[in-house]
Chains A and B, each alone.
Chain A
Amino acid sequence: LAKTTQPISMDSYEGQEVNITCSHNNIATNDYITWYQQFPSQGPRFIIQGYKTKVTNEVASLFIPADRKSSTLSLPRVSLSDTAVYYCLVGEGNFNKFYFGSGTKLNVKP
């Protein structure tokens, strides 16, 4: 039932920029794209949300092309503490009812 597809895992090094791309080919007109971060034994933490073009906040940027069939989460200068699972979610309208996919396990190395 998940509406999104992401790479299962990614490796990076401290200080690098990390881009995680998510595919959501069947996104509906009213759907928003939301990214969450989850550490082991914790609930997901909100990172960023967008509808189209580019959104930036203090921790990340979200790039959404015009057709909205994919999105890219960009994490600038990652650190070891960014090692986590990142979920790309598409909500029904802005209802925030989510069917989680596998997420992307990001491993940041020193």
Chain B
Amino acid sequence: GAVVSQHPSWVICKSGTSVKIECRSLDFQATTMFWYRQFPKQSLMLMATSNEGSKATYEQGVEKDKFLINHASLTLSTLTVTSAHPEDSSFYICSASTRTAPAFFGQGTRLTVV
């Protein structure tokens, strides 16, 4: 299947700092990318939908000023967690999609805020 890569795979940051997570579709151009978060022993929760060249659409309850999403090209979307706090510690996962194929997910990024 198609390859979607996230970087970094894990990150530890201090409370109050910002962290950027990259999501790249390596062998296809993604019409849309999605960002999810997953807490331990829970399912994935959709955070936002990201289309290249336009503003992201956030799900209800997700703070757009805290979770900044930039989709600069058809192969790259970034999620920046601003002023991170321990409650933002989670597993963040992106998926990349075209309208003619299934979505493929990245390997996830484990964020720990200390």
Residues of A within 8 A of B (CB): 34, 36, 41-46, 49, 87, 91, 93-103
Contacts and interface: CB of A to CB of B under 8 A. Distances in A.
Given A44-B44, A44-B105, A101-B43, A95 B110 contact: no
Contact of B91 (A41, A45, A49, A100): A41
Contacts of B43: 87, 100-103
Interface string B71-96: 00000000000000000000101010
B108 A41 contact: yes
A67 B4 CA distance: 34
* B interface, size bucket: 20 to 34
A103 B44 CA distance: 10
Contact of B106 (A43, A49, A91, A93): A43
Given A96-B34, A96-B97, A97-B34, A43 B108 contact: yes
Contacts, number: 62
A43 B102 CA distance: 14
Contacts of B110: 41
Given A41-B110, A94-B100, A99 B46 contact: yes
A100 B97 CA distance: 16
B49 A97 contact: yes
Given A96-B34, A97-B49, A42 B103 contact: no
Given A41-B110, A94-B100, A96-B97, A36 B105 contact: yes
24 contacts: A34-B103, A43-B95, A43-B106, A43-B108, A44-B95, A44-B105, A45-B1, A46-B1, A46-B103, A46-B105, A94-B99, A94-B100, A95-B97, A96-B97, A97-B34, A97-B46, A97-B97, A98-B46, A98-B95, A98-B103, A99-B46, A100-B46, A101-B43, A103-B43
Interface string B43-58: 1111001000000000
